[in-house]
A = this chain, B = another copy of it.
Amino acid sequence: MIYETIKMEITSNPEYVGIIRLTTSGIANKIGFSIDDIEDMKVAVSEACTNAIKHSNDNVFYIKYEMLENGLTIEIQDKGKGYDIESTIKPDLSNPKENGLGLFIIQTLMDEVSIESKDKEGTIIKMTKYLGVDI
């Protein structure tokens, strides 16, 4: 099945993450998500874009929105340095750190999340939220 899509290619500038949030909320609103779900997706997308901007070392990154019948899949991709997914550690509350919360927040807010990352080839994080589901 081929879904309708909106794809973006964006210069890696922190200033543009707010614009991406706006676009995300427009798309999610059109699909019919609740205000709370839209807020969740704005945060999740921002976290992924922030990672691409801060960690990929590439000067451009990509977003693909795929309109499902019952939800929205958002893919954030960079063609940067990649990282070892296994070696990232979970946040530890007894010893809170300045970093390491982004991926945890994405996983908490979205219904499905998958990450692929390859050394020197880059990272793809794919996240889906379904309409009217609360898990």
Contacts and interface: CB of A to CB of B under 8 A. Distances in A.
A15 B32 CA distance: 13
Contacts of A23: 19, 22-23, 26
> What's the number of copies of this chain in the assembled complex?
2
Interface string A1-29: 00011111111010110110011011100
> Which of under 10, 10 to 19, 20 to 34, or 35 or more describes the interface residues of A?
10 to 19
A5 B27 CA distance: 20
A4 B11 contact: yes
A30 interface: yes
B15 A6 contact: no
A18 B26 contact: yes
Interface of A: 4-11, 13, 15-16, 18-19, 22-23, 25-27, 30
